[in-house]
Amino acid sequence: MTKTRCPNCDSVIKLEKPREGAIIVCSSCAVELEIVSTDPFIVDFTDDWQDDWQDTDYPQDQEDEW
Ligand SMILES: [Zn+2]
């Protein structure tokens, strides 16, 4: 049994046989997570989630300054 913690809600996620590159869904907060490594077992937010985060963190107004 392999365990890690959800980077979104910090609850424990357990998988019997994690596969690198697989997408899992947190049972507590329902966020989509990608298994980026199996040894050690590390999960991270999917690319879709990160795109949304970057859009809100960097407003388009800043591009006009270039
Ligand atoms: Zn979670």
Condensed to tens digits (0 to 9), the pLDDT of residues 14-62 reads 999 999 999 999 999 999 999 999 999 999 999 765 555 555 555 666 6
- The 10 Å Cβ neighbour count of residue 48 is 11
pTM higher than 0.75: no
Domain 2-60 class in CATH = mainly beta
Gap from CA of 66 to ligand 1 centroid (Å)? 38
Gap from CA of 28 to ligand 1 centroid (Å)? 5
Enumerate residues with CB within 5 Å of ligand 1 (an ion). Answer: 6, 8-9, 26, 28-29
- The 10 Å Cβ neighbour count of residue 7 is 14
Delimit the domains of the chain by residue range: 2-60
- The identity of residue 24, as a single letter, is I
